[in-house]
Structure 1
Amino acid sequence: MKELKSVYSLEELKSNAVELLKKLIEIPSFSKDEYNTSVEIESFFTKHQIPTKRFKNNIWAVNKHFDEAKPSLLLNTHHDTVKPNKAYTLDPFVAIEKEGKLFGLGSNDAGASLVSLAQTFLHFYEAEDLQYNLVIALTAEEEISGLNGIEALFPQLPNVVLAVVGEPTQMNLAIAEKGLLVIDGEMKGTPSHAAHPNDDNSIVKCMEDLHHILSFKFPKVSDYLGEVKVTLSGIHAGVQHNVVPESCTFTLDVRVTDEYSNKEAFEIIQSQMKSNLTARSFRLNSSKIEMDHPFVQAGIAVGRTTYGSPTSSDQAIIPCTSVKIGPGDSRRSHTADEFIFIDEIGEGIEIYIKILEKVL
């Protein structure tokens, strides 16, 4: 791309970002109820004379010199949040700035990514002769992997070949991400009085089945994400001390690597178990971008590291090559008194710009 002289200085972009994040923190935006934050996002772009489009609670825009003949690079993150937990000592809907931190629900996940990506888009908005169109989509329902977020919007976006997904990664490159497969299982047995012998006890059979799958090792190990991880996250059986129940039910949380599709992982687990299994969904598959991809190489060139992410995001339902990178720390997400360091926002904008200057 030609050398870009942005309309805005870096300090202006940083100031804009913090101002916008404070406004978003103070607007509740639980999944499926993000309308008010979507209006605030629209207002931000309108203030900077950037036309936007809306689909449900998803807001998106394209660069000023959009060219239908070019492929598009997508900047994406979400503006919904989880509900605050009971351990909060601060008001989750009041943006409190102190000791270099900005506190508030959604500040780290993924408000800081959202405002940093918005300023990055602003920086490049008027650039000419880009190799790619630049598209930004700030979307809904990520926290629940909902059907009315990026998955519903994506078919309307113009020829996207790469998605940059903003999530807290300390501005390092998550080049692979585990998928999520939730399995409900049931082991049947013979109900009986607890005082009598019963060699078909559903709980005992279920325990044996679960012990086997929890110690089972999937044959293929990912270079980026390690092993597939199977976790027992729920189990239920019986209501009376003197009755052996007819069934024992359980839930498995399976974090699937790029070596398997969710369907393949399910079939392997079913082959190893005697219980009847049902997958809740196969939608949230693992994702990976190759190390030699220009975006990854650009990130490495500006000093960023690469890693495999154990947490899931909208990457799982974005049907093109994607990479996850954003300011903040994933370990702060969904915690009480969530915060972002102010400096992390400024750093996020700078690094996004530096990487995209090498790609666009």
Structure 2
Amino acid sequence: MLKDFITKEEVIQITKDLVSIEGHKDIEVKESKVAQYIQELLKKEKIENDVDIIEENRPNVYGKIQGEDDEIELMFNGHLDTIPGFNMDYEAFEPFIKDGKLYGRGSADMKGGIAAMISALIAMKRSNASLKKTVMFAGVIDEEESSKGTERLIKKGIIPKMAVIGEPTELNISIAHKGMEWIEITFKGRSSHGSRPKEGINAIYAASEFNRLVYEEFSEKLENRTFDLLGHGTVNVGVIRGGDDPNIIPDKCSVRIDRRWLPNETLESVHGELEELAKRAVDKIGGKYEIRALREFTASMINTPHSIDRDHRLVKEALESTEKFTGDKKEPVAFPAWSDAALLSNNGDTEAIILGPGNINQAHANDEFCDTEEIYQAAEIYFDLIEKICK
């Protein structure tokens, strides 16, 4: 068991060390200092390690315990980056513990999970166990932006058969989440003077008609289309921009949409359904439209949905291990956000779950914290999974 090879104090200290290292898009060093700390720790524990520099100051960091089989059977995947500290209730990168909770930026999202993963590998290495299957830790960059770190794994063929993503789930086993597609539809009309509106084509009216169709028809349609645990997909008109002055008929208006889609939907249908609404709007008002995915803001490999069969071995083993160390009977749940599990499962045929310490509601919060007992239990669960799947 984990406790035979690493103490709770060590696990929590690793978490505190990680939280104290600032690493995000708004500083010059990005995630490099976080990766450096992890690599030095892995070296100290004589765990095979490597860094993979993707961009300046943006390296993935890897740790591996080789089994008899060269293929990676199990990967623990966690993102090194956090969001900036912003206006937190305390110093963002000066972690402290109060009432059994570790406070600091990234404690829940997801340095508590990373610390538990690294601790499980350290304990396994210290045990001197011989593994039949290879286990790997991948600390990846950029998940808070475009997931370049996990995309790098896929591009280099570093693809496991099974993976655990350490996002905060309160140690529940999440087996599915929605995809996220951002779409911009630009309506184009014809400008004229505001005193002669009939001589122009008002692009804002076309956009307004489109928004009406989304609100009155399409949202209800989505509510009748469901998937196990996830419920229904959603659509949100989040941005609308158009016009210059009140006395000019606007010839351009753009609408930006967040569309959360299900594993039983396709990317083609996601775009196709919205394009049909746009066509109906210009048929009524006039003008033209253009539709495009806002790829500059999302993963280049697409923020697809994710799901794994609830009867898959990884799910069953994780449920058993979690019950063993928490004492709670668990059932599979949905993950409310997006995760790198989707990239691995849709581009690498990896079977993945999301399982980590902390509450997703604390991610990005001004009082972000993670329960220290959950962090240690996560390490116990991860260690147990290595034993059952790789040993």
Instruction: Give the corresponding residue for 1:193.
Output: 193
In structure 2, C-alpha distance between the alignment counterparts of 1:71 and 1:25, rounded to whole Å: 28
Which residue of structure 1 lines up, in the alignment, with residue 342 of structure 2? 316
1:228 to 2:243 alignment: no
Would the aligned equivalents of 2:69 and 2:133 in 1 still touch at CA under 8 Å?
no
Distance 1:115 1:68, change over 3 A: same
Residue by residue, what CA displacement relative to the aligned partner does 1:93-131 show, whole Å, maximum 9, x if unpaired?
111222222111111100111001111222333564545
Matching residue's letter, 1:23: D
- 1:262 aligns to what? 267
Unaligned runs of 5+ in 2: 54-58, 280-288, 296-300, 324-328
Match of 2:61 in 1: 59
CA distance in 1, matches of 2:387, 2:227: 31
The residue that corresponds to 1:245 in the other structure is 250
Equivalence map 1:80-91=2 (5 Å):
80-86=81-87, 88-91=88-91
For 2:333, the aligned partner's letter is Y
Deviation, structure 1 residue 71: 4.9
What's 2:180 paired with?
180
CA RMSD of aligned residues (A): 2.2
The sequence identity of aligned pairs, in percent, is 25
Match of 1:9 in 2: 4
Does the CA contact (< 8 Å) of 1:183 and 1:253 recur in 2? yes
Kindly tell me: are residues 222 and 127 of structure 1, through their superposed partners in 2, closer, same or farther at Cα, counting changes over 3 Å?
A: farther
In the alignment, residue 19 of structure 2 is paired with which amino acid?
I
- The TM-score, its normalising length taken from structure 2, stands at 0.83
Distance 2:386 2:68 in 1: 18
Superposed counterparts of 1:1-360, under 5 Å: 9=4, 12-31=6-25, 33-56=30-53, 57-63=59-65, 65-86=66-87, 88-125=88-125, 126=127, 128=129, 130=131, 132-147=133-148, 149-156=149-156, 160-198=160-198, 200-214=201-215, 215-216=217-218, 217-218=221-222, 220-274=225-279, 275-281=289-295, 283-301=302-320, 302=323, 303-318=329-344, 319=348, 320-360=350-390
Where does the alignment leave 5 or more consecutive residues of structure 1 unmatched? none
Q: CA deviation at 1:288?
A: 0.6
Aligned to 2:136, the other structure's residue is in SS state: strand
Q: Distance in 1 between matches of 2:48 and 2:134?
A: 15
Distance in 1 (CA, whole Å) between partners of 2:159 and 2:292 is 35
Q: Structure 1 length normalisation: TM-score? A: 0.90
Contact 1:203 1:247 in 2 (8 A): yes
Distance 1:146 1:290 in 2: 24
- State the number of aligned residues: 351
- Mapped to 1, the partners of 2:31 and 2:72 lie a distance apart of 29
Q: Return the alpha-carbon distance in structure 1 between the equivalents of residues 72 and 370 of structure 2.
A: 33
CA separation of 1:106 and 1:69: change in aligned 2, threshold 3 A: closer
Q: C-alpha separation between the residues in 1 aligned to 2:102 and 2:261?
A: 34
- Structure 1: distance between partners of 2:316 and 2:40: 35
CA separation of 1:172 and 1:238: change in aligned 2, threshold 3 A = same
One-letter identity of the residue aligned with 2:64: V
Deviation at 1:232, TM superposition (A): 0.9
| Farther-moved stretch of structure 1 (165-174 vs 185-194) | 185-194
1:240 and 1:75 map into 2 onto residues whose CA distance is 54
Deviations 1:108-165 (A, max 9, x none): 1001110011112223335645453211111111111243x01113454655111111
Per-residue CA deviation, residues 48-83 of structure 1 (Å, 9 max, x unaligned), is: 1212111111111221x4223555211111110111
Preserved CA contact (<8 Å) 1:176 1:286? yes
Deviation digits for residues 202-245 of structure 1 (CA, Å, limit 9, x no counterpart): 11221111221244124642123122211111111123122221
**AA aligned opposite 1:233:** G
- Residue pair 2:184, 2:291 contacting (<8 A) in 1 also: yes
Partner amino acid, structure 2, of 1:36: K
| Structure 1 residue 322 displacement after superposition | 1.1
* CA positional deviation for 1:44: 1.4
Please tell me the residue identity of whatever aligns with 1:137.
A
Give the Å deviation of 1:304. Answer: 2.5
Report deviation, 1:356: 4.4
Displacement of 1:37 in angstroms is 0.7
